[in-house]
Chain A
């Protein structure tokens, strides 16, 4: 049973470009969570999605960030017009349902903005 998969593992973007981060949840999991880890910080919640629905996006910056989890395919976290402050590790987690609070994490995507 494959774990949570994220790609790319490393992403380098110039300021002003777009970054697209992908997350495939574990098989049988329909709930996806995105977290951001800044240097020397713990992980901060960004958004919680179910298939075709955003359940809680209270941790998402108001501008430039968006997330989706389509009926088919991986969840996507998109960052438009990236700035240096967006450089961080972005982790995706999944769980089989909202009632099971155990979240399984992927290896993360490390975004570097130059």
Chain B
């Protein structure tokens, strides 16, 4: 069965610092890949997605992610974090069965 691992439960960065959130997946083929963000008490908002093609994907709010097939990874990056980026971030895969499989999430705290 496919699985998604987000090894960092909680990350704290200073405002203006760069950010990288890690995501590894386990699946036989290359699934569709997503990053979602969830603010406290809110639903999930799609940041970006990878279906095929260019392995560097640009998303909303200045986020980008890079798909690395050899490492089965899809890490999320942002060059300069803003205080409003504090939220929980979920990586998800969709292997063609309509089901999204989510990681357990990484909670991001931003120090002013």
Contacts and interface: CB of A to CB of B under 8 A. Distances in A.
A103 B43 contact: no
Interface string B45-73: 11001010000000000000000000000
A33 B104 contact: no
B100 interface: yes
Contacts, number: 59
Contacts of A31: 98
A100 B102 CA distance: 18
Contacts of A59: 99
B36, B46, B99: residue with the most chain A Cβ atoms closer than 10 Å: B99
B110 to A, nearest CB: 21
Contacts of B46: 102-105
Interface residues of A, number: 28
Nearest to A44: B102
Given A55-B98, A56-B99, A59-B99, A42 B105 contact: yes
B30 interface: no
B105 to A, nearest CB: 5
B98 A33 contact: yes
- Give the interface size bracket for B toward A: 20 to 34
Interface string B100-112: 1111110000000
Interface of B: 4, 32, 34, 36, 41-46, 49, 51, 90, 92, 94, 97-105
23 contacts: A4-B43, A31-B98, A33-B98, A35-B102, A40-B104, A41-B104, A42-B4, A42-B90, A42-B104, A42-B105, A43-B44, A43-B100, A43-B102, A48-B99, A56-B97, A56-B99, A91-B44, A101-B51, A101-B94, A102-B46, A103-B100, A105-B44, A108-B42
Given A43-B90, A45-B99, A101-B94, 14 more contacts: A31-B98, A42-B4, A42-B105, A44-B102, A45-B101, A48-B98, A58-B99, A59-B99, A98-B98, A102-B49, A105-B43, A105-B46, A107-B42, A107-B43
